[in-house]
Amino acid sequence: MNILDKITLDKRNEVALRKQLIPTFQLEQSVLFERQTVSLATNLRNSKSGIIAEHKRRSPSKSVINNTLNVQDVAKGYQDAGVCGISVLTDGKYFGGSLDDLLTARASCNLPLLRKEFIIDEYQVLEAKAYGADVILLIAAILTRNEIKQFSEFAKSLNLDVLLEVHNEEELHKSIMPSLDMLGVNNRNLKTFDVSLDVSKNLSNLIPNDFVKISESGISNIEAIKELKPYGYQGFLIGENFMKTDNPGESATEFIKSLVG
């Protein structure tokens, strides 16, 4: 069983428990449920940098990245740096995140927020909306075509943007549908954790231009972005690179300054 299968199995149990604790009508009564969302896809189309910065404490591949920072400072720092959006990890067991991180980030900035999560149930899409997200992530590797359709259409009905993540051609072909806004190519092989930008390059031509193309994982320098832009990528997800420093906002500021000149 690879790490993704393990996470997904745990996630099914976790979501079943959460559904018992907080019924859907309670989520729908959240103050943030009526909030006007901000489109990450639109931000990326109009941006020179295309940076989506991530709040991430740890990961299965790197263990602890940064446990000392508070979400409020990170979100404010990222907003000041001029990023296009913020990805907030809400998985607790493997990434040390929580839905409270999403709430805190929402209270700290006006940027589009992506709920970075392993979504296997419509309930999690409702949670994303109730906790202030603007975008959800769907991972093709753990979902059927029908689930991708169901969850993405449900997200659109709540005015949420949808980012679909793929790792290979097979996942891409089963996933392309009108209810997606962005297609993210993850350069990390989830079985081996090896990272290669070639994954993004090889898949770029297969992604229709109706979707905003995003490259994820392994983007730690400006050269990587300059290398990927000719392939039509408009978004670049950067997590560890900023989070492993003492001041992610400052690191993002320097990075964007060097990138856009």
Catalytic pick among 186, 187, 200, 251: 186
Q: Does residue 116 carry a catalytic annotation?
A: yes
Mean pLDDT across 141-148: 97
To the question of pTM greater than 0.85 for the whole model, the response is: yes
pLDDT at 162: 98
What is the C-alpha end-to-end distance of the chain, expressed in Å? 45
How many domains does the chain fold into? 1
Kindly tell me if the per-residue pLDDT of 191 is higher than 80. no
Residues of the domain holding 69: 3-260
Instruction: Let me know: does 212 contact 234? Beta carbons within 8 Å.
Output: yes
Q: Which of 127, 171, 216, 240 is catalytic?
A: 216
C-alpha closest to that of 27 among 203, 158, 205: 158
48 tagged catalytic = no
Which candidate in 11, 43, 54, 200 is catalytic?
A: 54
- Residue 14: active-site member: no
For residue range 71-124, list pLDDT tens digits in order: 999 999 999 999 999 999 999 999 999 999 999 999 999 999 999 999 999 999
Residue 139's CATH number = 3.20.20.70
Q: pLDDT tier at 61 (50, 70, 90 boundaries)?
A: confident
pLDDT digits (tens, 9 = 90+) for 242-252: 999 999 999 99
54 in active site = yes
